Every structure is written in structure tokens, then in C-alpha cells.
Amino acid sequence: MENKMKHIPFYVDSSNKDDDDDHEGSHHQTLLFITACLVMIISWVLIHRLKQWNVKGGPKTWPIVGAAIEQLWNYDQMHDWILNYLAQSKSSVVVPMPFTTYTYIADPINVEHVLKSNFQNYPKGETYHSYMEVLLGDGIFNVDGEKWRRQRKTASFEFASKNLRDFSTVVFRDYSLKLSGILTKTSFQNQEIDMQELLMRMTLDSICKVGFGVEIGTLTPELPDNRFATAFDTANIIVTLRFIDPLWKLKKFLNVGSEAVLDQSIKIIDDFTYSVIRRRKAEIEEIQEANKDDKIKKHDILSRFIELGKDPENNMTDKSLRDVVLNFVIAGRDTTATTLSWAVYMVMTHEEVAEKLYSELIALEESKANEENIMIEPYESDDSESFNRRVIQFAELLSYESLGRLHYLHSVVTETLRLYPAVPQDPKGILEDDILPDGTKVKSGGMVTYVPYSMGRMEYNWGPDAALFKPERWLKDGCFQSESPFKFTAFQAGPRICLGKDSAYLQMKMALAIICRFYRFKLVPGHCVKYRMMTILSMEKGLKVLVSRRP
């Protein structure tokens, strides 16, 4: 018994030792397996990274997330981030993202291929439509195919109308004078103002009058709160963020974060938009009742679409009209106001440009006064009534034809658009695999984005002074000379070229002619001017200035 007891511990210990050895062996094998997997993953990541880094000198990319990390890190300065890579590549830049791949282009030959030569292969696409649908719906800027063609045909007919042009000229003059009245009052009170906000109000009132035939009065001297404009800007910012936010669909499903804010903004936007539609429909019915035997003269674009909606084949519901309204708001309000803001900033920071422009405006004033045998009234800049009368007299000389004589003003606006295009980048879908003229391969399901912001700063497009604000580059013997729309892409090109180009120039030149003739601006000390990330190149913190009157 004693001997057995002596052997039992030995037997048990021997058994435990064998089990421990088995455990240690198994654990060792597991560690070896995990280490091998980690080595393989790290090697794959490094190889993938090295490979991607050498492709077109593009951004840092990683498995699964692509270039999203670097893009998010540089989100607030994304246009300059893209510019930096395009400047290095001299051609195009490929940026892989979690669910698609973006190819950015700035060479006019590539742009012409996408926007014209192979137009059918590069629609807006489902990806872009899904990002923007909540705001723009099935409006002209967010659809392809028959929906796009039908809306473009109607809009093209309206923009070609002399009646609309003449109506627009009167409206743009009236609202420019309202803006002038506010500037005069501000200058006497020596108060700082946000020019971008005022210009946004002016263009919103204008597009609602020209586009939809309604007066909404945001540019009154009291500057009432504008919930629609605030909600529209918020929605614009959030849908832009969707392009690089892989979680936006989840946030939308859960109705949290930015998508919850977007939902609230869209409700405000829709309330305003549907009220505009109801108001215009009611006005049309009243006019029809009062003028049963007369043909109604419809100057505004919405009325034309409402009229089309009476034909069952057109299927124009209130939702369709809502999309029409919002697409024209982003086209007629945001793009024009932001361009005017950058133009004022460029003029005020380039004294020689301001003086040349002032001289041209004085010359036009004297020339028109002589032609129409009008006595130019003297005015006292310290007398508000005298000053305002003088502004009105000058504005009455500004017609579509007389504004066409202002070649330097036209160059100032165009040069502003070259460096600060209202739409800084414009993505297109890819239906089928293709090879761009520079040899870049693009895959079906990806996106190609031409980048007007970068194109305007490329030395191979504009020469060694490409980064300088130089309106003279557009003049030849004192007359404005245009460039290829595939080089100067502020108004897009090809079949989708902007129908409102002439109307936009008309409003911008009308406003700037009055502003630059009678006022000087000085940036508020410490105010920082930089863009914010949204589909339109607006100023993040506005344009805060002090206003003084020209003697």
C-alpha cells in the first residue's frame, strides 16, 4: 500500500505533464498561426499601399477604406487637396473609396471626352442621384435620360425667350437697388455687414420672382430670419458630406447624427417649396378667372411647368414641381450669390482692378447720358437722399445692351469664375469601362469628376500666372475673348452646358456695376475668408466688410 501510494503521485504528475505539453504545443501552434496571418496581412497592406502610392502619385490608400482616411482628414480643404495631387500628376488622379473609385481630371482633352465625345457613358449616375435625391429629387441637375431631356427642353425654351430676358433685367435691377439701399444705410451707420448673406438674400428673392413669380421679401431693410435659406444651406452641406461618409445610409436608417439634422432641414425646405407652388397655382387661377378670354402672359419658369402639368402625358405632380423649384434655387441663388461674393472680395483686394472697373463704369454712364440726352445729376455722398437718387439714375441706364458694353466687368466676373467656380467639382458616373485620352483607365460603376477649381489653377491650362487674379487675360484689343468651355468649365460644357449662363451674367453684371460704381469695401479686421465644403463654393464664415461711399 505504501509502495502504491508512492507511485500514485508519480503517475498523476506524469499524466499532467503530458497534458501541459499538449497544451503548450497547441498554444504554440496557435501563436505561430496568428503571427503568420498578421505577417501576411501586414505584408499585403504594405504591398497594397506601395502599389497605390505609385499610381498617378495619388493619395495614401488602405484596404477596405481606400483613401477615406486622408480625404476625411483634409475634408475642410478638399479642393486644394485634390489640386495638389492633380498638379503633381499633370493628368488625372485615382482615389479609391470604400464603395467606389473616383478619378479626378483637369486636362481639357479628358474633360471634353467625358462631357461631349463620350457623353452617353458618363451620366449623373445612380450613386450621385442617391446622394442628392433627398434635396434635388428628380430635378434637371440630378437625373439622366428622358427625365433630363424633357426638363431641359422646357427650360431651354424659357431661357431663349426675350420676354423672360427683359423681365429678368427689370427684376435684377430692382433687387440690386434694394441691396444698394441697405449698403447706403450701413455705410452711414458705419456698421459691418456680411456681403455673402446679403447677396444670398438678393439672389433668392430674384430667382423666386423670375423663376416662380412670387415675392418673398428676404432683402427688406429689416432682414427677416430666413429659415428656408438656413435649412437649404444645412442640407447642402450634409448631402456633400455623403460623398465621403460610408456610414450615411446607416445614420439615415437610424435617423441619427447629420442625417437626423438633414431630415429636419428637408421638412423646412419642403414646407417653403410647396407653399410657393400653391401660391403660384392660386395666382394663376385668379388671373384665369379674371381674364377668361385673354391669353395669360407667363414670365416665370414655374408657371410654364405648371401649364405643362395640365397635360396628363407630362405627369407633372406637385412633387415634380417641387424638384423643379429646388433645382432652380440652387442654380439661380447659390451659384450667383457665391460668385458675386468672391468677385467683391477679388475687387476689394485688388485696388488696380477696382479702379479700372470704376473708370469703365463712369465712361459708360457718360456715354449713355449723351446718347439719351440725360443730364447727370450731381450728388453729395454725405446726403443719403441725394446719393440714393444718383444710384437710381445710374441703374436706369443699365440695360441688357448697355451691360454688354462693359468688357472689363465681364472679364472680372469670368476671372472670378476661373479661380472660384461656383461648382468646384462635378462627378459623373461610368456606365462602361473606358480609356480617357491621356491613357487613364476607368471602370464601370466608378465615378469621374472634372474639377473646375483645379483646372483654373493649372499652369498647363493658363500659363505661369494661373494662380493670379488677372481680368486682362480675357481681353484682346479691349474686347472680351471667350475660351473653350472644356478649358473654362464654370458653366459645364457639351449637352449639359448651363442654360442660365446668360441670365447669371446679366444678374452678376447688374449688381456689380451698381456696387462697384458707388461703394468701396474693406474687410473687417481679423475676418478669415475661406471656402466651406458643400456642392457650391461658398465662404465658410461669409464676407464681413465695412462699406464706404464713393464721392
| 3-state secondary structure at position 73 | helix
| 3-state secondary structure at position 7 | helix
CA 395 to chain centre: 29
Separation of first and last alpha carbons in the chain: 124
d(CA 432, CA 119): 12
d(CA 198, CA 190): 16
* Region label for 442, one of left (φ > 0), alpha (ψ between -120 and 50) or beta (otherwise): beta
Provide the pairing of β-strand 475-476 with 479-480: antiparallel
CA 497 to chain centre: 15
**Contact in structure between 187 and 388 (CB atoms under 8 Å):** no
Question: What are the Cα distances from residue 87, in Å, to 288, 295, 305?
Answer: 59, 57, 44
pTM of the model: 0.84
How many residues in total does the chain contain?
Answer: 551
**Contact in structure between 378 and 394 (CB atoms under 8 Å):** no
415: nearest Cα among 457, 367, 363: 457
Question: What are the Cα distances from residue 291, in Å, to 26, 36, 213, 309, 424?
Answer: 94, 85, 18, 20, 47
467-503 burial: b if 16+ Cβ within 10 Å, else e: eebbbebbeeeeebeeeebbbbbbbbbbebebbbeeb
At 403, list the grid cell.
Answer: 451691360
479: nearest Cα among 399, 398, 409: 409
pLDDT per residue of the chain (551 residues) written in tens, 0 to 9: 444 444 433 333 444 445 555 555 555 666 665 665 565 555 444 444 444 443 446 777 777 677 777 877 888 898 999 999 999 887 788 887 777 888 999 999 999 999 999 999 999 888 889 999 999 999 988 999 988 888 888 888 878 888 889 999 999 999 999 999 999 999 999 999 999 999 999 999 999 898 888 888 899 888 888 898 889 889 988 998 888 788 899 999 999 999 999 999 999 999 999 998 998 888 888 887 777 655 556 677 888 888 877 777 777 889 999 998 899 888 888 899 999 999 999 999 999 999 999 999 999 999 999 999 999 888 888 899 999 999 999 999 999 999 999 999 999 999 999 999 999 999 999 999 999 999 999 999 999 999 999 999 999 999 999 999 999 999 999 999 999 999 999 999 999 999 999 999 999 999 999 999 999 999 999 999 999 988 899 999 999 999 999 98
At 155, list the grid cell.
Answer: 427650360
d(CA 317, CA 120): 28
Q: CB neighbours of 66 closer than 8 A, spacing ≥ 6?
A: 95, 96, 97, 98, 101
CA 240 to chain centre: 10
Question: What are the Cα distances from residue 51, in Å, to 58, 68, 440?
Answer: 10, 17, 16
d(CA 80, CA 71): 11
Supply the DSSP string of 125-161, one letter for each residue.
HHHHHHHHHHHHTTSTTS--HHHHHHHHHHHHHHHT-
Task: Check the annotation: does 208 bind a ligand.
Answer: no
Give the gyration radius of the chain's Cα atoms.
30
Count of Cβ atoms closer than 10 Å to residue 529 Cβ: 16
At 443, list the grid cell.
Answer: 471602370
- DSSP H/E element including 548: strand 544-549
